[in-house]
Amino acid sequence: MSQENDPVSRHYLAISDLTASELSELLATSLQLKREKMSGGTAQILRGKTLGMLFTKPSLRTRVSFELAMKQLGGDALYLAPGEHQMGTRESVPDVARVLSRFVDGIMARVHAHSDVVTLAKYSRVPVINGLSDREHPCQALADLLTILERVGGIAGVNITYVGDANNVSNSIMLGAAMLGAHVTIASPKDYQLAPDFLALAVAYAHASGGSVTQMEDPRASVEDADVIYTDAWVSMGQETETEQREKVFPPYQVNAALVALAKPDALVMHCLPAHRGHEITDEIADGSQSGLWDQAENRLHAQKALLIRTLK
């Protein structure tokens, strides 16, 4: 079996499943598909294909973007809510993969544990896409990079600062940006910084691309000369028991007018959503002229289309 027809070669579980050239190609395809949609339509490239969508966590953007992407490309999407499959309880993860992959052409899974998408991929006979896990959010990163490409004009050489909890979202956007030559800074409290393996991989990508990766604690110093400021929730799903402690630690990392004023005058502000307004970001910034939040949300659709074509065609 040739590699291009091998489902294993087309799994998308992490940003590192792509090379820099493949990532650049996906972004170029996303832009093309967005232009096509705005000019009147999209070719029915995936006619006859079906995507199975497994959810163990709530979703707005992930479900809507993947479902509409499949429909606009001529295919179908099958939504499976947690109560319908009860993956990991009523039915084992390997068995869900074995059964579902007999019916569909690809599986997108939004899960709690990254090990679940890894197991799905191991036992599936069709490609598996990570719609979100506790380790990475690689589909969000595609939309984010597309947004930076559109709003800033490029990615190589751009100064991107992530402020807040080093989590699955920061992992993916950092790796993708470093792979494409950006200068990435992550500002987090001492006990909420990048995992060593992610930091090492990002540094390796940056070394190869001409970019850089810096980790620090000071949020104010981190945004100096920033072209992009990115933030996310202080408390992610599954961390609710840590809410009280986190809300004591993270207020200095709030993206507000005072912090944004330290960056470049036209710095783009990003958040993957949902936003906890008044916590990690203020209304003034989320709804202001520098906000890229709604472009990011829209770009999930176009990035997902490009990914689905790569995965299922």
Could you tell me the residue ranges of all domains in the chain? 3-137+300-312, 138-296
Active site residue 220: no
Q: Is 227 a catalytic site residue?
A: no
Q: For the domain made up of 3-137+300-312, give the CATH fold.
A: Rossmann fold (3.40.50)
Identical topology for domains 3-137+300-312 and 138-296: yes
Q: Point out the catalytic residue in the list 134, 135, 140, 193.
A: 140
Instruction: Sort strands 212-216 and 228-231 into parallel, antiparallel or unpaired.
Output: unpaired
Name the band, by pLDDT with cuts 50, 70 and 90, for residue 4: very low
Which listed residue (137, 246, 279, 302) is catalytic?
137
What residues contact 20, with CB distance under 8 A and at least 6 apart?
179, 180, 205, 208, 209
Average pLDDT over residues 275-304: 98
Buried b (16+ CB within 10 A) or exposed e, 218-254: ebeebbeebbbbbbbbbbeeeeeeeeeebeebbeebb
Say whether pLDDT at 1 is over 50: no
* CATH for the 138-296 domain, from 3.40.50.150, 3.40.50.1370, 3.40.50.720, 3.40.190.10: 3.40.50.1370
Selected catalytic residue, list 110, 135, 279, 302: 110
The yes-or-no verdict on residue 179 having pLDDT over 60 is yes
Specify whether 300 is catalytic: yes
| pLDDT band for position 229 (cuts 50, 70, 90) | very high
Residue 42's pLDDT is what?
80
Mean pLDDT, the chain, integer:
94
If you average pLDDT over residues 5-25, what whole number do you get? Answer: 88
Catalytic residue check, 44: no
Write down the pTM of the prediction. Answer: 0.95
pLDDT 10s digits, 139-162: 999 999 999 999 999 999 999 999
Give the mean pLDDT of 265-289: 97
Question: Does residue 310 carry a catalytic annotation?
Answer: no
Is 70 exceeded by the pLDDT of residue 136?
yes
Whether 232 is a known active-site residue: answer yes
